[in-house]
Amino acid sequence: MAVIVFVLGGLAVIGVTALVLRQSGRASAIATGLAGAAGLAAYAAIGSPAAPDLPFSERAAELASRDARDLSPAETLARLELLVRERPDDPQPHFFIGEVMKAQGRDDDAVRAYQSALRRDSRFAPALEGLADALVRLEGGRVGADAQRVYAQLYAEDPARLRAGFLAGLGLLQAGDPDAADAAWASMRANLEAGDPRQAMLDAWIDAAKTETAAP
Amino acid sequence: MIEIGHLAAFLAFGFSIAQGWTGLSGDREAAGRLALSAFAAMAIAFAALVLAFARSDFSVELVAEHSSTLKPFIYKLAGTWGNHEGSMAMWCLVTLGFGAAGAAWLRTDRQVFEARAIGVQGLLGVGALAYLLFASSPFLRLDAPPLQGSGLNPLLQDPALAAHPPMLYLGYVGYSFVFALAAAGLMEARIDRDWAKIVRPWAMAAWVPLTLGIALGSYWAYYELGWGGWWFWDPVENASFMPWLVGSALLHSIIVTEKRGGFAAWTALLAVLTFCFSILGAFLVRSGVLTSVHAFAVDPLRGGLLLTGLIVYGGAALALFAWRAPALKGGPAWALVSREGALMLNNLVIAAATATVLLGTLFPLIAEAAGRQMSVGEPYFNLTFAPMMAALLAFLPVVQGWSWGKADAGALLRWIGGFAVLFLAMRLLAGVLREFPAGAALGVALGYWLIFGALVEVGRRGLWEWRAVGPSLRRCLRLPRRVWGMTLAHAGVGVFILGAVVETTARETRTVGLAAGGSAVVAGWTLTLEGVRAIEGPNWYADEARLIAAKGDRQVVLEPQKRFYPAARMPTTETAIHRTGTGDLYAAFGDRREVDGEPVWTFSVYYNPWIDMVFGGVVLIALGGVFSWVPRRRRVDAPVREAATT
């Protein structure tokens, strides 16, 4: 690469010098040759003649050929962004971008990625859960109104998601509406069959939430 | 390819040195060939840089810092010059391009003059390339390139802004060749009619793109920044406006030199000053002394180098002028009441107006250096710049018909009387229609006055006769393009003034907070917020409001956005504008807040009357420049030939 660069540069200087020599005096040709050579020398001192071009398409092809488990977070993100362009209607790459953002502690970016996934499939449960969790983290652990709505939607669509239902109720409790919270949790209990072991777990969560909320 | 580009830039540097040397030695052929070679090398360098941006080659540091794979392709390309280093590369390309254009098209019978002009242009290229390659290189490489870049400043991801820098640079740097021609003329102590004929198209070639470049920047500010206005007397705007003003004075001064051989020293000085103001503009914008979206370079070293360049080139130019100007020949004598007198007045007022803009631009910097914070805004310019220019423009229709050497002063009083009547009519009409300040009525009268004056001048030159409309019209249409260029430009100034005065005086503004379903009334339009939804683009996310605007039986939808660009981590405002034909209904999306648990969004809503005339007027001015630029057409009518001397 370096040889090609310098050969091309040398040929250019010789060519222009010859052009000047043909039409003008020797002094002008010498000045041209010297100035051109000075340009070449300055490039040799400052440039990186051996460094090849590195277009993103080549790097993307290399990324695509590798095992996803061997990729660094930055490489995973780059590959997911490629997938977004290849499959513009698929919510999954956006969801996984959200997961990468979450892992990097970039919750505001994670929220935007989960929202992008939900624009493609408004009932995509992993994205709904990721979105609500990220909103809670952004609120410093508090279940705000937006997160509460998302948890409620998640539970409504899949009553097996007990954690979502509980957190939707917690949101109501933290918003200062204990009656609504109790009603939501009562409804959840009613949905569980008698003897369901998750009943005790839910009660424990509710007790802990009430204790924590009542604490000064 | 990027390394070949880097090498090519160094070769362009070497060839420019040789171009300077051979040119100043008087070797026209060698200087010309070297100018073409240097431009070809720089074109390869710039193309390599564009290719690196197009292919998202993040091994190039500049690409990693100012691009991303997610950007639309057009903005990947525009990203090449949307930063300090890339824009300086474009500066070099245009500098060398003008040198090459000079080498190709400058054909006079004065070989040494041509050689020197090309040589001076070569030296200007050497300075620009030295700064590019040794202090602001866009070709630096990264050992460990990232997989994603930081993205282009979102404010610059806009079609108008993609075209704004190239146009502005064609203007700024175009004046470097005008300067080179002035320097070559000064070296020979020959600034005469022939020189003016040579320089005029080059001055026009710089002035037209500079006009359009400023207009594009203004139009962008209007619809992108969400402030409703189109000119803010921002120091960066002023930095481009000052060379335009002096360049306009230069165009008028060249006319005197071309037609009468007069104003030689003054024209040469204006050519030097226009170039100095161009470098000053580059220094102000690029040095980091100003805080602005344009202030890419905040490195004191680079600022110092630019200042050194300004002092060296500006100082050398002024020294050359001081040395050679006394040897220039003066033109024939002229009376104060003459075309020359009027054009000298024009030049002096524009020079004084430029000085007030310069003072208003630099004063805050000087105050800051002295430890005081001070800002100079619109009121200062309204009190200084505007009255001077208004007085000058009021005389324009009167004096453009004056003869060379000595004119009849008798018509002056009649014209002044005419303007006074027009002003009083506007004042009365404004008072009846709405509460218009006297200054605004004066401005409106001035706008109509200029349009009327431009038409009258065409009629006068076309020997208009109301009894023979057809032949008169044909004669007018056959007038030289220069006359039509002048007419369009002067009428354009009138249209611009009308738009500017009415828009700034009668603009209606309101900031409203709306919940979904809420309404507000602005300028007779009822705006109802239908809702806000989250949307996304290739490299941005946005909240988009849907506002239904209704007036009478008309109903339109406005969809302003608040965007967020994750790569640059920057929000932007995307305004929604409905053009009514007589004005713009303009909405900008503000912040969201909670009121009683309900989300409420803030909107800045404006009604900007006659705003299209502001931009349309500038386009007319530029079009006038284009008409004047086109080579003169052969005239056929004998009567016209008599009357149509410019």
* For residue B301, pLDDT beyond 80: no
Cα of A92 to nearest chain B Cα, Å: 16
* For residue A30, pLDDT beyond 80: yes
Beta carbons of A158 and A166 less than 8 angstroms apart: no
Taking only residues 627 to 646 of chain B, the set having a beta carbon closer than 8 angstroms to any beta carbon of chain A reads none
Taking only residues 180 to 199 of chain A, the set having a beta carbon closer than 8 angstroms to any beta carbon of chain B reads none
By the CB < 8 Å criterion, does A55 face chain B? yes
Please list every residue in chain A whose beta carbon sits closer than 8 Å to the beta carbon of residue B134. 46
CA atoms within 13 A on the CB side of B210: 29
**What band does B632 get if pLDDT is binned at 50, 70 and 90?**
low
Of residues B181, B167, B231, the one with CA closest to residue B622: B167
According to the model, what pLDDT value does residue B377 have?
84
Cα of B595 to nearest chain A Cα, Å: 14
Q: What is the average pLDDT across A30-49?
A: 88
By the CB < 8 Å criterion, does A204 face chain B? no
Of residues A23, A27, A30, the one with CA closest to residue A13: A30
By the CB < 8 Å criterion, does B595 face chain A? no
According to the model, what pLDDT value does residue B41 have?
94
**What band does B569 get if pLDDT is binned at 50, 70 and 90?**
confident
CA torsion sign for B562, B565, B569, B574 is negative
H/E segment holding residue B604: strand B598-609
Q: Tokens for A56, please give them.
A: 């993103």
HEC string of A79-100? HHHHHHHHCCCCHHHHHHHHHH
Match 């430890």 to its residue by tokens: B371
DSSP H helices, B55-110, are 61-66, 73-78, 84-105
Q: What is the average pLDDT across B109-133?
A: 93
The rounded percent of chain A whose pLDDT value lies above 90 is 25
Contact B7 A37 (CB under 8 A): no
Beta carbons of B485 and B627 less than 8 angstroms apart: yes
DSSP H helices, A73-174, are 73-86, 91-103, 107-120, 125-138, 145-157, 162-174
Chain-wide mean pLDDT for chain B? 87
Identify which of B2, B7, B22 has the shortest CB distance to residue A53: B2
Beta carbons of B98 and B86 less than 8 angstroms apart: no
Beta carbons of B406 and B417 less than 8 angstroms apart: no
Q: B147 to chain A: nearest residue by CA?
A: A78
**What band does B468 get if pLDDT is binned at 50, 70 and 90?**
confident
By the CB < 8 Å criterion, does A49 face chain B? yes
Contact A38 B69 (CB under 8 A): no
Identify which of B1, B3, B11 has the shortest CB distance to residue A48: B3
Contact A13 B14 (CB under 8 A): yes
According to the model, what pLDDT value does residue B636 have?
46
Q: CA dist B418 to B97, B377, B408, B422, B453, Å?
A: 48, 34, 17, 6, 11
Render pLDDT for B322-349 as a digit per residue (tens, 0 to 9): 998 888 887 788 888 888 888 899 999 9
The DSSP secondary structure of B473-517, one letter per residue, reads HHHHHTS-HHHHHHHHHHHHHHHHHHHHHHHHHH-EEEEEEE-TT
Contact B133 A46 (CB under 8 A): yes
Please list every residue in chain A whose beta carbon sits closer than 8 Å to the beta carbon of residue B25. 27-28
* For residue A59, pLDDT beyond 50: yes
For residues B432 and B171, the model is more confident at B171
According to the model, what pLDDT value does residue B299 have?
66
For residues B49 and A195, the model is more confident at B49
User: How far does CA B435 lie from the centroid of its chain?
Assistant: 33
Q: What distance in Å separates the CA atoms of residue B476 and residue B458, rounded to the nearest whole number?
A: 7
According to the model, what pLDDT value does residue A215 have?
67
The DSSP secondary structure of B524-547, one letter per residue, reads TEEEEEEEEEEEE-SS-EEEEEEE
Taking only residues 78 to 117 of chain A, the set having a beta carbon closer than 8 angstroms to any beta carbon of chain B reads 78, 81, 109, 112, 115-116
- DSSP character at residue B326: G
* For residue B463, pLDDT beyond 80: no
Q: What distance in Å separates the CA atoms of residue B119 and residue B176, rounded to the nearest whole number?
A: 12
Q: Which of A6, A11, A16 to mutate to test the interface with B (most CBs of B within 10 A)?
A: A16
Burial class of residue B613 in the structure, from the number of CB atoms within 10 Å of its CB (0-12 exposed, 13-18 middle, 19+ buried) = buried
pTM comes to: 0.83
Q: CA dist B379 to A80, B222, B372, B373, B387, Å?
A: 53, 20, 20, 17, 12
Q: CA dist B36 to A11, B17, B32, Å?
A: 16, 13, 6
H/E segment holding residue B26: none
DSSP H helices, B404-480, are 410-433, 438-461, 469-477
According to the model, what pLDDT value does residue B294 have?
52
By the CB < 8 Å criterion, does A16 face chain B? yes
Three-class DSSP category at B12: helix
ipTM here? 0.72
CA angle B73, B74, B75 (to 5 degrees): 90
By the CB < 8 Å criterion, does B563 face chain A? no
Beta carbons of B190 and B324 less than 8 angstroms apart: no
Q: Tokens for B330, please give them.
A: 């003066």
H/E segment holding residue B557: strand B554-558
* For residue B528, pLDDT beyond 60: yes
* For residue A12, pLDDT beyond 90: no
Contact B30 A1 (CB under 8 A): no
Q: What is the average pLDDT across B458-487?
A: 83
The rounded percent of chain B whose pLDDT value lies above 70 is 94
Q: What is the average pLDDT across B367-371?
A: 81
Contact A12 B56 (CB under 8 A): no
* For residue A149, pLDDT beyond 80: yes
Burial class of residue B267 in the structure, from the number of CB atoms within 10 Å of its CB (0-12 exposed, 13-18 middle, 19+ buried) = buried
Render pLDDT for B261-295 as a digit per residue (tens, 0 to 9): 888 889 999 999 999 998 888 878 776 666 555 55
